[in-house]
Structure 1
Amino acid sequence: MIAVIALLCSLSSPTNCHEQTVTTSDFASVSVQSCLMGAPQLADWMKEHPAERLAAWRCVIGKQGGRGA
């Protein structure tokens, strides 16, 4: 399993950033290559977070503990 960890920053306070594990069924079958290339699912997932900007993401093999949405 590939876990996608997103670094999200507030649009109203750009220095206020936090990491969040991307949790959605769209990411259940993401390959490492797709993740590293910026999985298209990230754009759809970001629509659910209109007050935040995707500053970065990383791909981790295995399940990660973290805050999910």
Structure 2
Amino acid sequence: MIKIIAVLCSLSTPGNCHEQIVTTSDLAEISMRSCMMGAPQLAEWMNQHPAERLAGWRCVMGQQGGRGT
């Protein structure tokens, strides 16, 4: 499984950025190549979150984090 970790910044406070796992049903079967090229699904996800700006993203194979999440 490939996950997209997006770096998102608030439009109202540009210095306020955080990382978030982008999850939608469309991203369930994304390939690493598609992820690295900026999956079209990522743009769709951003359209649903207009208060944030996408500052970057990375692709991660397998589980994210070591706390059972």
2 CA distance for matches of 1:6 and 1:28?
A: 16
Paired residues, number? 65
2 CA distance for matches of 1:38 and 1:20?
A: 15
Cα displacement (A) at 1:48:
1.4
CA displacement, residues 19-45 of structure 1 (integer Å, 9 cap, x when unaligned): 000111110010000000000001100
- Give the root-mean-square deviation of aligned CA atoms: 0.8
1 CA distance for matches of 2:24 and 2:64?
A: 14
1:40 match: 40
Q: Secondary structure, in 3 states, of the residue corresponding to 2:43?
A: helix
1:12 match: 12
Residues 56-65 or 3-12, more deviating: 56-65
The TM-score normalised by the length of structure 1 is 0.90
2:2 match: 2
Cα displacement (A) at 1:64:
1.6
Q: Secondary structure, in 3 states, of the residue corresponding to 1:34?
A: helix
1:22 match: 22
Identity %: 72
Note the residue ranges of structure 1 that are not aligned, 5 or more in a row.
none
The TM-score normalised by the length of structure 2 is 0.90
Q: Secondary structure, in 3 states, of the residue corresponding to 1:6?
A: strand
